Amino acid sequence: NITETSSSKTKDDFLNEILMCGICLSRMSSPYCLPCAHSFCRSFIICNA
């Protein structure tokens, strides 16, 4: 539930989760969005393409 999530987390926590790269688990550096709408650090996408 978005309301419950918003009340238990700060805005910074929420943004950090959204901006986290699913590959390196750090905040995305130069985010790259794939056609499926997943986003990762550009360096991982370019190196593994």
Q: What is the CATH number of the domain that holds 14?
A: 3.30.40.10
Alpha-carbon torsion angle 4, 7, 12, 14, nearest 10: 10
Confidence of residue 20 (pLDDT cuts 50, 70, 90): very high
Dist CA 21 CA 36 (whole Å): 15
Domain that holds residue 6: 2-47
Q: How many domains does the chain have?
A: 1
Q: Are 42 and 29 in contact (CB under 8 A)?
A: yes
- Over residues 2-26, the mean pLDDT reads 79
Q: Are 21 and 27 in contact (CB under 8 A)?
A: yes
Pick the more confident residue, 11 or 9: 11
- How many CB atoms neighbour CB 48 within 10 A? 8
Q: Are 32 and 21 in contact (CB under 8 A)?
A: no
